[in-house]
Amino acid sequence: MDQHKCRACGESAGALVLDLGDQPACDYFPRQGDPGPDPVYPLQMWLCSSCGLAQLLADPTIPEEPKAVEPAALVAQAADAVERVAAAGLLPAGHVVAEYGSPHGGSWLSLLAERGLAPASPGESVDVIVDCFGMMHAADQHAALAERTARVRPGGVLLLQYHSLNTIINSGQWNALRHGHYAYYSTSALTEMLAMHGFTPRTAWQFDLYGGTVLLAASRDSDSRPVADGTVPAILAEEARTGVRDPETIRSLQRDTHAHAKRVHDWLVEQRSAGRSVLGYGAASRAVALLLQARVDGSLLPAIVDASPAKQGLRMPGADIPIVGTEELTARRPDAVLLFVPDLLPEVRKAFPEVEAAGARWVDVEAHGSAGLQ
Ligand SMILES: [Zn+2]
């Protein structure tokens, strides 16, 4: 195999920090009745010693995930974010905006249109670039950032929102690692990446989404922006305390993987032994690696409910677990519903009150204690 070169800076010095072994492409949901075996590919995270970007080592798969239902939490966060960026004076009416979106959905354009910003034509230079969870999907990180920064007019701003590596480490979110997601940004690494393109982070906002999400505003080194404040140095200091550039620190995710998988497996075995029925909820890509690591099959988890019509009739890759519609939440009368997307908890409780009314409880697969696996 050729030596890996950093997707952002091109250097080859680095370390393997998380290895989940061979995994099916989590974007590939086979039809129910497709006996498999599903093709598998190595799933590994590599940390660049030069720029500090944590990244997918190799990715031979082609993303084709059916577009998911946009969680209400994501929609609410977008509105909150636009509000806060506008309050900082970065979204004046009349400015031209281009968005680099995520293939999983979620757009700011209608919110920005309401504020009088105009959408750009393709390739046009703009005052504002918005990228929410978009750039992580680019295999060539250097080219992706070059394209975005090149479109920013003098005096313009680049807004990048990402699930922070600091959160991934501190919350043990090892299954954030997935095929098709090429970069796992720390603000520290992103600061270096931006510097390669003549940009400097000026300010940042933090959100609870996914346990900790950062929205960074950057502009050209040559621009002097009045909004520069202490938020970015504070995030960098927090990341340094965590050790986001230290391979040993990130390797804690490997231990988290084993501990989490064991917790899920043991809990499901316990439920089965006690004669309690369990359904899953949220056939998300991040559930794929968890179910495999935890060696969960259809005898432990007979089905996963998902609201997305595109996923009906399919099964989880690498496991004989069918994906079923939300009507099964009442039809099957489960004792517990194991939630694979914790951000959905408030909205599923609200959308399906019949689950708790029938005496079942929602269990957050990520949580310990009374809210989660115990
Ligand atoms: Zn690098």
> What pLDDT score was predicted for residue 128?
97
> What pLDDT score was predicted for residue 103?
76
Of the given ranges (59-63, 92-96, 110-114, 269-273), which has the lowest mean pLDDT? 59-63
Of the given ranges (103-107, 123-127, 154-158, 249-253), which has the lowest mean pLDDT? 103-107
C-alpha of residue 26 to centroid of ligand 1, in Å = 26
> What span, in angstroms and rounded, lies between the C-alpha atoms of 153 and 129?
10
> What pLDDT score was predicted for residue 75?
86
C-alpha of residue 188 to centroid of ligand 1, in Å = 12
> What pLDDT score was predicted for residue 35?
87
Residue 69 has pLDDT above 70, yes or no: no
What are the structure tokens assigned to 199, written together?
């940009």
Is the separation of the CB atoms in 337 and 360 below 8 Å?
Answer: yes
Is the separation of the CB atoms in 82 and 72 below 8 Å?
Answer: no
C-alpha of residue 6 to centroid of ligand 1, in Å = 4
Residue 148 has pLDDT above 70, yes or no: yes
> What pLDDT score was predicted for residue 345?
92
210: left (phi over 0), alpha (psi -120 to 50) or beta: left
C-alpha of residue 142 to centroid of ligand 1, in Å = 9
- What's the longest Cα–Cα distance across the chain? 66
1 pLDDT band, cuts 50/70/90, is: low
C-alpha of residue 14 to centroid of ligand 1, in Å = 8
More confident residue, 130 or 70: 130
Q: N- to C-terminal Cα distance for the chain? A: 43
What's the rounded mean pLDDT across residues 29-43?
89
> What pLDDT score was predicted for residue 26?
65
Is the separation of the CB atoms in 296 and 268 below 8 Å?
Answer: yes
According to DSSP, the β-strands at 304-305 and 361-368 are unpaired
C-alpha of residue 232 to centroid of ligand 1, in Å = 20
> What pLDDT score was predicted for residue 180?
87
What are the structure tokens assigned to 267, written together?
């809990």
61 pLDDT band, cuts 50/70/90, is: low
Is the separation of the CB atoms in 240 and 52 below 8 Å?
Answer: no
> What pLDDT score was predicted for residue 68?
58
C-alpha of residue 193 to centroid of ligand 1, in Å = 8
Q: What is the pLDDT of residues 321-340, one digit of tens each?
A: 999 999 999 999 999 999 99
> What pLDDT score was predicted for residue 36?
84
The pair phi, psi for residue 88, each rounded to 5°, is -80, 0
> What span, in angstroms and rounded, lies between the C-alpha atoms of 58 and 48?
14
C-alpha of residue 170 to centroid of ligand 1, in Å = 22
C-alpha of residue 52 to centroid of ligand 1, in Å = 6
371 pLDDT band, cuts 50/70/90, is: low
Of the given ranges (167-171, 222-226, 277-281), which has the lowest mean pLDDT? 222-226
What's the rounded mean pLDDT across residues 210-225?
89
> What pLDDT score was predicted for residue 138?
94
Indicate the average pLDDT of the chain: 91
C-alpha of residue 11 to centroid of ligand 1, in Å = 6
Over pLDDT 90: what percentage of the chain?
A: 75
> What pLDDT score was predicted for residue 366?
86
Is residue 102 exposed (0-12), middle (13-18) or buried (19+ Cβ within 10 Å)? middle
Residues 6+ apart with CB under 8 A from 157: 90, 127, 128, 129, 202, 217, 218, 219, 225
Q: What is the pLDDT of residues 154-179, one digit of tens each?
A: 999 999 999 999 999 999 999 899 88
What's the rounded mean pLDDT across residues 106-114?
92
Residue 193 has pLDDT above 80, yes or no: yes
- Annotate 128-185 with three-state secondary structure: EEEEECCHHHCCCHHHHHHHHHHCEEEEEEEEEEEECHHHHHHCCCHHHCCCCCCEEC
> What span, in angstroms and rounded, lies between the C-alpha atoms of 176 and 289?
9
Residues 6+ apart with CB under 8 A from 3: 12
DSSP 306-317: -S-GGGTTBB-T
Over pLDDT 70: what percentage of the chain?
A: 94
More confident residue, 34 or 186: 186
